[in-house]
Structure 1
Amino acid sequence: MTRLCIAGGTGQVGREVVRQAILAGHQVAVLSRNPPAPGTPGHVAGVDYFRADVATGEGLDAALAGADVVIDALEGRSGKALKNFADGGARLLAAAQDAGVGRAVLLSIVNCDRSSFGYYRSKAAKERVYQQSGLETVVLRATQFHSLLAGIFASGSKLRVIPVFKGARFQPIATAEVASGLIDAALEAPTGMRHRARTIGGPEILGMRELAVTWQQATGSRGRVVELPLPGGMGKYLRTGDNLVPGERHGTQTFRGWLAMRTDSL
């Protein structure tokens, strides 16, 4: 039986990693700054939760004790969390190495090193930390999640506008399939390589307008689909198609199929 330590196991992808790992019969530890209390909706039976913080190193030793693999699904979207994102990764890896963990797996974003957008730059910086680690490391780069697009459309629809970025296409993937990819990377047999990277993309590439119409049909929103320019590093990243990996269509759940499973919550 493998013991997996999930850093960020209370986040969107981390929760799914935890769920799948428990169902598969693995031992699971979760490190989080705010672990859920027993009896609350976020608490999963059979999981060992630890209050820990990669920004300070507090609690890492206890969370990593006995772990075979650590899966890093942490996020740092703004403020100090964004600024210190790569440093937190280095602190986690150092603690994992001290604890005798055999492998570390990082969730990242496709071609994040080609974007000047701050969030993506932090992902690329963290990738470099993993590449330089003394541990065996795997970076899993994923395309954008179905939930990201649904969130963009839902936010705009509150103002009766469903935004579509000019020139943008997407290859969205389900977080459940990304979680499966992370677990597969954690459990695969040793390859003898110190560091490797792999990419996982959704099953189809569609224009953002088509995706918006699909979302509108699924939700019944009466907002107007409006094409808007997206400036800056993110706009360039999308217009040049750096968010796409046509040769890596490992996901199977389409955006339409994902929406159909979540009609009641959209």
Structure 2
Amino acid sequence: MTTVCVAGGTGQVGREVVRLALDAGLDVTVLSRRPPSGASPVHRDGARYFQADVTTSAGLAEALQGADVVIDCLEGQFGKARRKFADGGARLLAAATVAGVRKAVLLSIINCDQSSAAFYVSKADKERVYALSSLETVVVRATQFHSLVTAVFQAGSKVRLIPVFKGARFQTISPANVASELLAEALREPSEERHRRRTIGGPDIRSMRELAEIWRKASGRAGLLVEVPLPGEMGRYLRKGLNLVPSQRTGTDTFESWLAKREDSL
């Protein structure tokens, strides 16, 4: 039986990987700085949880013992986790090599190497770490999640003003669809190409205004749609369409269908 270790298996994509891997009958371990209790909604019966920290290597050896493949869904969005994101990747890969892991799969962001935004830079730095590993590695770059734009709409609706970034279009994808692709890459037969990268996107490309109208109708929330410019590096990234990949409409879960399953996003 294949053993899959999911790093960051309690995050929004990681827990979907855990669910899918268990459904497929795989042996699943999860490493997290804060493993969930059995009563937690993110805990999955059948998975084995280990406390581990990629910024210090504490607990990595135990979590990776016996694993055939590691899927890295760690997020590192803020503070120390972001500053040490690439270094944490190096520590994880080093521990995986010692443990005899044969492949590592990394979740990343579309065109992260074409943005100077701090979070995107940390992703690109980590990709370069993976490209230098002695393990076979696959980097899966995804477009933004449905939950990203939803969070913006939810925040604005609290003051009845729903922001719509001027000139921004999105090809949002569901975490479950991303998880499915990560797991598929993890289970794929060994490749002659030691380090591969692919980009996946959601099924539809829509303006942010269209997405806001869909969300407002589904949620029943009152709020005026207000078009605002998004300055800085993220504004440039979105206006240039660097968040889109029209030729790779991998996801099947549309924004509408995802919202229908997610009461907490309304």
Q: Same fold by TM-score, threshold 0.5 exceeded?
A: yes
CA RMSD of aligned residues (A): 0.9
Report the secondary structure of 2:179's partner residue: helix
Q: Partner of 1:175 in structure 2?
A: 175
Q: Partner of 1:228 in structure 2?
A: 228
Q: Partner of 1:52 in structure 2?
A: 52
Distance in 1 of aligned mates of 2:94 and 2:5: 14
Deviates more, 1:250-259 or 1:215-224: 250-259
Distance in 1 of aligned mates of 2:171 and 2:40: 34
Q: 1:264: how far off?
A: 6.2
Corresponding position: 1:208 with 2:208:
yes
Q: Partner of 1:125 in structure 2?
A: 125
Identity %: 65
Distance in 2 of aligned mates of 1:119 and 1:28: 29
Distance in 2 of aligned mates of 1:44 and 1:163: 36
Q: 1:121: how far off?
A: 0.6
Q: Partner of 1:18 in structure 2?
A: 18
Paired AA for residue 3 in structure 2: R
Q: 1:144: how far off?
A: 0.5
Q: Partner of 1:6 in structure 2?
A: 6
Distance in 1 of aligned mates of 2:258 and 2:96: 35
Distance in 2 of aligned mates of 1:90 and 1:256: 38
5+ residue gaps, structure 2: none
C-alpha spacing 1:162/1:95, structure 2 compared with 1 (3 Å): same
Q: Is the 8 A contact 1:3 1:66 kept in 2?
A: yes
1:136-147 aligned at under 5 Å gives the runs 136-147=136-147
Distance in 2 of aligned mates of 1:29 and 1:42: 14
Q: 1:265: how far off?
A: 5.2
Q: Is the 8 A contact 2:150 2:265 kept in 1?
A: no
Cα deviations by residue, 1:150-170 (Å, 9 ceiling, x for unpaired): 111001100101111111000
Q: 1:254: how far off?
A: 1.1
Distance in 2 of aligned mates of 1:37 and 1:207: 40
Distance in 1 of aligned mates of 2:235 and 2:32: 32
Corresponding position: 1:239 with 2:242:
no
Q: 1:261: how far off?
A: 2.1
Report the secondary structure of 2:13's partner residue: helix
Paired AA for residue 113 in structure 1: D
Paired AA for residue 5 in structure 1: C
Q: Partner of 1:248 in structure 2?
A: 248
Paired AA for residue 230 in structure 2: L
Q: Partner of 2:217 in structure 1?
A: 217
1:62-211 aligned at under 5 Å gives the runs 62-211=62-211
Report the secondary structure of 2:196's partner residue: strand
Q: 1:37: how far off?
A: 1.8
Distance in 1 of aligned mates of 2:79 and 2:66: 32
- Spell out structure 1 runs of 4+ moving beyond 4 A: none
Superposition TM-score, scaled by structure 2 size = 0.98
Q: Is the 8 A contact 1:109 1:120 kept in 2?
A: yes
Deviates more, 1:34-43 or 1:136-145: 34-43
Distance in 2 of aligned mates of 1:264 and 1:125: 33
Q: 1:17: how far off?
A: 0.4
Q: Partner of 1:30 in structure 2?
A: 30
Distance in 2 of aligned mates of 1:70 and 1:160: 43
Q: Is the 8 A contact 1:218 1:263 kept in 2?
A: no
Distance in 2 of aligned mates of 1:101 and 1:262: 35
Cα deviations by residue, 1:74-126 (Å, 9 ceiling, x for unpaired): 01111111111000000000000011000000000000101111001100000
Distance in 2 of aligned mates of 1:264 and 1:175: 15
